[in-house]
A and B are shown apart, each in its own frame.
Chain A
Amino acid sequence: ETGVTQTPRHLVMGMTNKKSLKCEQHLGHNAMYWYKQSAKKPLELMFVYSLEERVENNSVPSRFSPECPNSSHLFLHLHTLQPEDSALYLCASSVGQGKSYEQYFGPGTRLTVT
């Protein structure tokens, strides 16, 4: 498989649930990103990892917890979410953080919080 993959593609969860989103890139990139896309809003950068180290956290609530065990995998752990967290969550990767404008995106996980 090539490119950036994300699982699951769709997720419905209650506010008390704990779930995780997974992203995997097969491009040999060293930087990975989580974005949130809400309706009628720009893509919002949530987290940036470079060489498995978190280099940016854009004031994201602690109910979102990222994990990057290696340069190919990125997780977003979710717990006690709110309905307003319902959105499309996109993962992306780039060769390195210094060339973060050349990003390749996965298909996203459509999250619905009930």
Chain B
Amino acid sequence: DQQVKQNSPSLSVQEGRISILNCDYTNSMFDYFLWYKKYPAEGPTFLISISSIKDKNEDGRFTVFLNKSAKHLSLHIVPSQPGDSAVYFCAASAEGGKLTFGTGTRLTIIP
């Protein structure tokens, strides 16, 4: 049973527009959520995170929103740039423990 789900395997967005990547989770014990970005032939790199005590965290063009009641988080990228084309993984952790990952969403930014 997948505890972290990314239901969209791929997403295409025009350059300059907003990209919204979604993630759902089932384990109510998760208290820390992360987004990782992965380019081909490279390992995932940390992008942004959010603690369950917050509902929003912003870092430059990247904002993560957390809706605990819906067990849903999203990553907003605005404006989208060609270099944002990558696979994005959502991950969650409970009490500083191991990470549970989603299957990833491949984002393609169209110039």
**Residues of A participating in the B interface, judged by any CB pair closer than 8 Å:** 4, 6, 9, 40-43, 45, 48, 56, 90, 92, 98-108
Contact = CB atoms under 8 A, between A and B. Distances in A.
Given A40-B103, A42-B101, A90-B44, A101 B4 contact: no
A100 B93 CA distance: 8
17 contacts: A4-B43, A40-B103, A42-B89, A42-B102, A45-B98, A45-B99, A48-B98, A90-B44, A99-B96, A101-B34, A101-B49, A101-B96, A101-B97, A102-B46, A103-B46, A104-B46, A107-B42
Given A92-B43, A99-B96, A101-B99, 15 more contacts: A40-B9, A40-B103, A41-B103, A42-B89, A42-B101, A42-B104, A45-B98, A98-B96, A100-B96, A101-B49, A101-B91, A103-B46, A104-B46, A105-B44, A107-B41
Contacts of B104: 42
Interface size range of chain B in the complex? 20 to 34
B66 to A, nearest CB: 15
B52 interface: no
B108 to A, nearest CB: 17
B94 to A, nearest CB: 9
A45 B102 CA distance: 12
B89 A43 contact: yes
Contacts of A9: 41
A45 B49 CA distance: 20
Nearest to B42: A107
Pairs A-B, 3 closest by C-beta atoms: A105-B43, A101-B93, A43-B101
Contacts of A98: 96
Nearest to A96: B96
Pick from A4, A6, A43, A105 the residue with the most CB of B within 10 Å.
A43
Nearest to B100: A42
A39 B67 CA distance: 29
Contact of B98 (A4, A90, A100, A107): A100
Interface string B14-50: 0000000000000000001010100001111110010
